Amino acid sequence: MLVIANWKAYVEDARKALLLFAASKRAARATGISIVLAPPAPLLGILSRNNRSTVAFCAQDVSATTGGPETGEATAAAYAAAGATYALAGHSERRTRGDTDQIVSEKITRALAHGLTPVLCVGERERDGEGRYLAYLREELTEALKPLAPKERANIVVAYEPLWAIGKDASLSIEPNDLAEMTLYIRKVLAELLPGKSSSRSRILYGGSVESGNIRALAASSGVDGFLIGHASVDPLNFPQIVKRLI
Ligand code: PGA
């Protein structure tokens, strides 16, 4: 199981970041679960220095540019130099700020070029009765992966994050049986887009109001390989408890 803690902009000081990092290291040691932290960029640099633990680091976003005169951009190369080994691409909170499928795909290319494992975030805005959300998901996956070489496509983690489930609480998250259906569907689409049988090794995560109250049920029979956790990942007491529910 892979757990990515998406700190978003909830964590704004080094003290809290260090507390969360220490709690994550203890949780990783106690459970053997792979924990990846996605802090705001400047804090990532502070935490990853001299990191000897199994806890890894993830960029919340990378620039679609290759560097140069681009004030404010943080490139995949800079993130890799700062100690990140994963990068989110296409999180809905970036898409609402202008990331199109094409930009998401460019970001994935940049991440791969610098040895970062891209975590492609996809998810529908709403669930309609006619299954249009399935077509929407297929298109998001296809548009992001199509420009990539077949070999590159095989190195991507997919995070299914329906927008309607993000930032709520466990009672408004997805139901385990619906998640099982979505995991299967994503695997089917990946099987069409990835070379050979490589999609059977693709990791699919779920994100959207994952908390201690629902993580175990969501993990049980849904076929997911892990979780992308937002608001519940920034409480140093609660986060280790959530991770422990996976064992
Ligand atoms: P949430 O966020 O856990 O706060 O719903 C998940 C995400 O947006 O990655």
> What distance in Å separates the CA atoms of residue 161 and residue 205, rounded to the nearest whole number?
8
User: Among the atoms of ligand 1, which is closest to the Cα of residue 207?
Assistant: 6
User: What is the per-residue pLDDT for 167?
Assistant: 96
pTM of the full structure: 0.98
User: What is the per-residue pLDDT for 11?
Assistant: 98
pLDDT in tens, 153-172: 999 999 999 999 999 999 99
Question: Of all protein residues, whose CA lies closest to atom 2 belonging to ligand 1?
Answer: 230
> What distance in Å separates the CA atoms of residue 5 and residue 162, rounded to the nearest whole number?
17
pLDDT in tens, 36-61: 999 999 999 999 999 999 999 999 99
pLDDT above 70 covers a percentage of the chain that reads 100
User: What is the per-residue pLDDT for 161?
Assistant: 98
- Enzyme catalytic residues: 91, 161
User: What is the per-residue pLDDT for 103?
Assistant: 98
Ordered domains of the chain (ranges, CATH): 2-244 (3.20.20.70)
Reduced to 3 DSSP states, what percent helix, strand and coil does the chain have, rounded to the nearest 5?
A: 45, 15, 40
Q: Is the CB of 166 under 6 A from ligand 1?
A: yes
Among candidate residues 182, 183, 246, the one with its CA nearest the CA of residue 217: 246
User: Among the atoms of ligand 1, which is closest to the Cα of residue 173?
Assistant: 5
CA of 228 to the centre of ligand 1 (A): 7
pLDDT in tens, 111-124: 999 999 999 999 99
